[in-house]
Amino acid sequence: MSKVGNPSLMTQMIARDVLELRRAVAEWRQKGHTVALVPTMGAIHAGHLSLISKAKSLCDRVIASAFVNPTQFDENEDLNAYPANEEEDVRALVSVGTNLVFCPNRKDIYPEGFSTVISISGLTSGLCGPLRPGHFDGVVTVVTKLFLQSLPDIAVFGEKDYQQLLVIRQLAKDLNIPVDIVGAPTVREEDGLAMSSRNRYLSEKERVIAPELYRILKMAAERVIVRPNDCELSCRNARAELLENGFEAVDYINICHAETLEPLTAYKPPARIFGAVRLGKARLIDNILIS
Ligand code: PAF
């Protein structure tokens, strides 16, 4: 803990550019250490910390990246409002055993003239894909850079962004990037709300409504286990219940195959139910395995 309280040691825990990052990784490699990467956009919460713990259980050294990636934000989303506080984030990440926090500046990731975009089809054609044009291209492009910059053995991503997890797994497979993509379970508040940096946008009143998303997804999942042919009806009912419970809009409620993300009309495992809703300034997403 004293390490975390000391400002000069704090600075030593941060790599500001690719050179510093690669230097640290090379030293670890020389000692035979394995390396994990946990990509984040800062605004660290307990969900991120659980990803670090997972990474630590699998590798000798853990890098967390903290970079608010402009290319994955929609036009309507306010990139500048994204909540990030570097000092707090680094402190939290280091307190659970992160060995290095990679905080590149924008020019390091997107130097002048940057013209590459990596795009994944198929898995991005449903759920958040059509509703957030360009979002997954931005995610996949920045994650590819982070992989190539740090060359980790594994990278850990949360199941809360389940579509993102599958898309990144596809990326690593398609481009033969030698990194194992590890998924980690969603961490929830006591009332069931999935932890997310965007929960900070919720007002007190909205915060009371927000956990209803999880409750309603669970109910819909239970319904299709009993009536497997009722996927569409269950999703329709869930949508109506969400609106009745105070959500302003429902972007989607879908039951999909858990590996291909193909929408299902009849429930057959492995399947997950996915939801995206609007509440005040926040867009909340969640998903659960139907079992
Ligand atoms: O999940 C996130 O926080 C971001 O999409 C990621 C993976 C760090 C890429 O910017």
| Distance set, CA 164 to CA 126, 149, 281 (Å) | 12, 20, 22
pLDDT at 278 over 60: yes
222 Cα: distance to centroid of ligand 1 (angstroms) = 30
Residue 95 lies in a domain: yes
Atom of ligand 1 nearest to the CA of 67: 10
Domain boundary among 140, 160, 184: 184
Tokens of 256: 């999909």
Do both 61 and 152 map to the same domain? yes
Q: What is the span of the domain harbouring residue 280?
A: 197-286
Atom 9 of ligand 1, nearest CA residue: 139
Q: What angle do CA 252, 192, 189 make, to 5 degrees?
A: 120
* 260 lies in the same domain as 123: no
Give yes or no: residues 42 and 179 share one domain: yes
Task: Point out which residues pair with 253 in neighbouring strands.
Answer: 275
Of 120, 152, 184, which closes a domain? 184
Q: Is 210 in the same domain as 178?
A: no
Atom of ligand 1 nearest to the CA of 69: 10
Model confidence pLDDT, tens digit, residues 122-150? 999 999 999 999 999 999 999 999 999 99
Strand 154-158 to strand 180-184: parallel, antiparallel, or no bridges (unpaired)?
Answer: parallel
From 285, 9, 271, 56, select the one nearest 156 (Cα to Cα).
Answer: 56
Which tokens hold the place of 55?
């990474």
**Average pLDDT, rounded, for the chain:** 95
Q: Is the pLDDT reported for residue 75 higher than 80?
A: no
If asked whether residues 75 and 180 sit together in one domain, one would say yes
Lookup result for tokens 């704090």 = 10
The whole-angstrom distance between residue 44's C-alpha and the CA centroid of its chain comes to: 12
Residues 85 and 48 in one domain: yes
Q: What is the distance in A from the centroid of ligand 1 to the CA of 167?
A: 12
Domain co-membership, 124 together with 218: no
* Domain-located, residue 282: yes
| Residues 184/58, Cβ–Cβ less than 8 Å | no
Atom of ligand 1 nearest to the CA of 158: 1
Distances (CA, A) of 151 to 23, 30, 48, 51, 143: 12, 14, 20, 18, 11
Please state, in angstroms and rounded to a whole number, the distance separating the CA atoms of residues 118 and 146: 13
Give residue ranges with CB within 6 A of ligand 1. 39-41, 69, 72, 139, 142-143, 161, 164
In a domain, 102, yes or no: yes
Q: Is residue 78 one of the residues assigned to a domain?
A: yes
Report percent pLDDT > 70 for the chain.
97
Strands 14-15 and 100-102: parallel
pLDDT for position 10: 77
Same domain, 214 and 157: no
Residue ranges in 82-230 assigned as alpha helix (H):
86-95, 106-109, 128-131, 135-150, 162-174, 204-209, 212-226
Report the nearest-CA residue for atom 1 of ligand 1. 40
List of long-range contacts for 85-91, beta carbons under 8 Å, 24+ apart = 85/42, 85/43, 86/42, 87/10, 88/44, 89/40, 89/42, 89/43, 89/44, 90/10, 90/13, 90/14, 90/66, 91/4, 91/10
Domain shared by 71 and 136, yes or no: yes
CA of 240 to the centre of ligand 1 (A): 31
What is the average per-residue pLDDT within 168-195?
A: 98
Residue 146 CA: which ligand 1 atom is closest?
Answer: 9
> Which of 184, 211, 244 is the endpoint of a domain?
184
Nearest of 29, 32, 48 to residue 40 by alpha carbon: 48
Burial-class residue 192 by CB neighbours within 10 Å (0-12, 13-18, 19+): middle
The pTM of this model reads 0.96
pLDDT value, residue 2:
38
What amino acid positions are annotated as catalytic residues? Answer: 48
Identify whether 20 is part of a domain. yes
* Nearest residue by C-alpha to atom 5 in ligand 1: 139
- Confidence at residue 1, expressed as pLDDT on a 0 to 100 scale: 36
Residue 191 lies in a domain: no
> What pLDDT does 234 receive?
98
Cis before 270 (ω within 30): yes
Q: How many domains does the chain have?
A: 2
Q: What is the CATH number of the domain that holds 133?
A: 3.40.50.620
Residue 4: its pLDDT value, please?
53
120 and 59 in one domain? yes
What percent of the chain is helix, strand and coil (3-state, nearest 5)?
Answer: 45, 20, 35
CA 41 to ligand 1 centroid distance, Å: 6
Q: What is the mean pLDDT of residues 190-208?
A: 97
How far is ligand 1, taken at its centre, from the CA of residue 39, in Å?
A: 6
Lookup result for tokens 């858990």: 258
Q: 96 φ, ψ to 5°?
A: -105, 15
Q: Express each pLDDT in 81-112 by its tens digit.
A: 888 799 999 999 999 999 999 999 999 999 99
Is residue 192 in a domain?
Answer: no
Average pLDDT, stretch 229-236?
Answer: 98
Residue 145 lies in a domain: yes
Q: Are residues 245 and 179 in the same domain?
A: no
- In testing the pocket of ligand 1, which one of 164, 167, 186, 187 has its CB within 8 Å of the most ligand atoms? 164
Return the CATH number at 201: 3.30.1300.10
Q: Model confidence over 7-51: pLDDT tens digits?
A: 676 788 999 999 999 999 999 999 999 999 999 999 999 999 999
**144 and 202 both lie in a single domain:** no
